[in-house]
Amino acid sequence: MNNSLKNRDIDELRGKVIPPAHTSLHSLYVESARGALVYDVEGKEYIDFAGGIAVMNVGHSHPKVVAAIKDQAEKFTHTCFMVVPYAAAVELADKLCALVPGSFPKMALFVNSGAEAVENAVKVARYATRRPGIVAFENGYHGRTLLTMTLTSKVKPYKFGFGPFAPEIYRMPFAYCYRCSLGLDYPRCGIACAERLNDFFLNYADAEHIAAVIFEPVQGEGGFIVPPREYFPRVASICRDNGILLIADEIQTGMGRTGTMFAMEQYGVEPDITTVAKSLAAGMPLSAVVGRKDLMDKVHTGGLGGTYGANPVSCRAALAVLEIFEEENLLDKAKALGEKLEKKLRAWKERYEIIGDVRGLGPMRAMELVKDRRSKAPAADEAKNLVKFCAARGLILLSCGTLGNVIRLLMPLVITDAQLEKGLSILEEGIGGISAR
């Protein structure tokens, strides 16, 4: 690529050759990135509060990850694990099986994307239980392939016009307490949304028809929705009573994002199958299905896999990521970052009416913007304007939420105090600006 190109030139060419469906939130084109900083082709510096959507927990181009990638690329980049295997994938599987919640023997399958991991988790669950049904949740997000798009809740832009959808997917309300779909108030509700599962078996599909319930421990794309502590234990107990498996989609919440390696550690529930991706390999395409050995073992030889699954360069990058977590005490850093963000966001909520709710787990934090606190009318345009305002001042920010009105924070866990303070002050200036309007 010609290095003298400006953002505008690249954008113009992009408009001709890349379909608008594959959109970008920002129209800056990246030249390089390091830690929590991103530089565009025009040399402008940005503080990154998006981390490539929760992928860069160890920071951009961490020297250790870069060294592992270079070293592996010089040795070999692909043989296909299904043809000639290599140790890095086995070593990584061993480490992940130990890290993923669950006090039982586990096995790990490696594929390439989050959606592919979810697809395979469902395959394993159906195979092992010999049941077809899968229950997913309102506001849930699991990917863009046919099955994962079907599991995903939000219609536009993810599903609209792309049907017919995969069969045997059912949907339940989630514990979105700020906007309870049952119109109840926590804790007086007695987590009625979890109890709903029993009604579901009467009205939609018998429990014996359901292979698994798939959920995000904290819903990501749906708006950083954190269910109350009792929610998953109750769902798990109903599932256990009915032989239904629990699939925790930790693709966004995993790898330290919530202050523990995996979010389910904080709910005291051991999922039967966990999906991992995003920050697993610091941007190299790699995802994993980590599940109970007795389930993973069941599938017939050759029933799972793919050409690129367990790519050696990606596996080496992931091994480097795990080392970085240990060497740099990233989980402690994550917890401290979470506490700082929680304090800051709570203070902002006191100050700015536009912030209707602040929530999160560890450093996976967000604020939901509303036009006024009583009606809770979503302030989606304001969220969009805030993202634009911040970008112009050198801060990359992301929105989310089914209503498009949630600002989420996904900065690399290695962000320095100075970078964090600077980013937050730009963000506060923006919030102050939209609140004053």
Neighbouring CB atoms inside 10 A of 103's CB total 6
Going by their DSSP bridges, the two strands 245-249 and 30-34 should be labelled as: unpaired
Binding site for ligand PLP (CB under 6 A): 53, 113-115, 118, 141-143, 216, 220-221, 249, 251-252, 277
Residue 26 backbone class (left: φ over 0; alpha: ψ -120 to 50; beta: rest): beta
Comparison of 116 and 368: residue with beta carbon closer to ligand PLP: 116
Buried-exposed string 308-318: b where 16+ CB fall within 10 A, e elsewhere? bbbbbbbbbbb
Cα→Cα distances 266→127, 205, 233, 361, 362, Å: 29, 30, 11, 9, 10
At its nearest, how many Å lie between ligand PLP and the CB of residue 216?
5
Write the CA distances from 31 to 25, 55, 65, 192, 415, integer angstroms. Answer: 17, 18, 18, 50, 19
Nearer to ligand PLP, 141 or 176 (CB): 141
Residue among 263 and 330 whose Cβ is closer to ligand PLP: 263
Q: In angstroms, what is the minimal distance from the CB of 49 to ligand PLP?
A: 16
Indicate the residue type of 62. Answer: H
Residue whose CB is less far from ligand PLP, 399 or 419: 399
- Quote the least distance from Cβ 61 to ligand PLP, whole Å: 20
Q: Which is nearer to ligand PLP, 123 or 209 (CB)?
A: 123
In angstroms, what is the minimal distance from the CB of 253 to ligand PLP? Answer: 7
CB of residue 148 to ligand PLP, shortest distance in Å = 6
- Shortest CB 255 distance to ligand PLP, Å: 12
Name the residue nearer to ligand PLP (CB basis): 118 or 355: 118
d(CA 402, CA 257): 21
Q: Which residue is nearest to ligand PLP (CB)?
A: 114
The single-letter code of the amino acid at 10 is I
Q: How many CB atoms lie within 10 A of CB 329?
A: 12
